A and B are shown apart, each in its own frame.
Chain A
Amino acid sequence: MNNLRRNLVAAAALLLLKPFAALAAAWNKDAFGAKTPQDALKGIGAGNPAASTDLVIEAPQIAENGAVVPIEISSAIAGTTAIAVIIEKNPFPLAAQFDFQNGALPYVKLNVKMNETSDVRAVAIAGGRQYTATKEIKVTIGGCGG
């Protein structure tokens, strides 16, 4: 069993026993503190994920503003229980990890910050195995319009 899963299970357990504030303990400090995509992957227990076309990142190829880059991730891999988002060139690449249970679909739409043009990597956990997909998003210099 991988770290991501273990952490999330721990989070769920804590939730049952303690008030919400106790969740602070379930924030994966090592993974979020990682400064390279490799370390971030290791931090979430997905050191060597397999490429999958069933993990889909829906996002524009060009973002007019790196402060808000909308991304939609969905997994068609059977038994997906978690999805993580890694922005490879960010100073701290791991952006988020989501654990799905009790009928939640492996789907999430979110807005992320991107420091510069970078590959965005999605990681899915299904049946204890790790899968990945990437998409490059170009962050452009804006003018004054809008």
Chain B
Amino acid sequence: MAGPMKMRATLGSGYTDVRVLMTHPMTTAQSNQPLHFIQNITVKQNGKAVVEAQISQAISRNPVFTFRIKGGAKGDKIEVSWLDNKGETSSIEAAVA
């Protein structure tokens, strides 16, 4: 079952650290369940795409990613969204703390 996301965007030394958690089954072709996995992830900073990811069934269930963006400031708007092979999507938005 695809469900809620959670994100924390914090300032590191010289970069913004974006940690994002996704609820998703990420089933594989080996399991007996229908194939269901996230294929695309987009990370945006203040509306501009910074990371574009394509992922496979080899990403663990309930995916967790950390990305880094150079510089950044408190209050920057970070948005992460995903799209899976069934066309389901989800997104989350947070300000850099």
Give the B-binding residues of A (Cβ under 8 A). 7-8, 11-12, 15, 20-21, 23-24, 26-28, 32, 67-69, 72, 87, 90-92, 94-105, 107-113, 115
Contact = CB atoms under 8 A, between A and B. Distances in A.
Contacts of A115: 30
Query: How many B residues touch the partner, as a band?
Result: 35 or more
Given A98-B52, A104-B69, 15 more contacts: A7-B54, A21-B89, A72-B66, A92-B29, A99-B51, A101-B49, A101-B51, A102-B45, A102-B50, A103-B70, A103-B71, A104-B43, A104-B51, A108-B53, A110-B64
Most chain B CB neighbours (cut-off 10 Å) among A15, A96, A115: A96
Contact of B60 (A23, A91, A101, A112): A112
Given A98-B52, A104-B67, A110-B65, A90 B40 contact: no
Q: Is the interface of A mostly helix, strand, loop or mixed?
A: mixed
Nearest to A109: B66
Contacts, number: 125
Given A23-B42, A97-B53, A98-B53, A111 B69 contact: no
A68 B60 contact: yes
B2 to A, nearest CB: 15
6 tightest Cβ-Cβ pairs between the two chains A and B = A109-B66, A104-B50, A111-B60, A95-B58, A105-B68, A96-B55
Contacts of A23: 39-40, 42, 83
B6 interface: no
A96 B42 CA distance: 13
10 contacts: A15-B49, A15-B52, A20-B83, A23-B42, A96-B58, A103-B50, A103-B69, A104-B68, A110-B64, A115-B30
B87 A95 contact: no
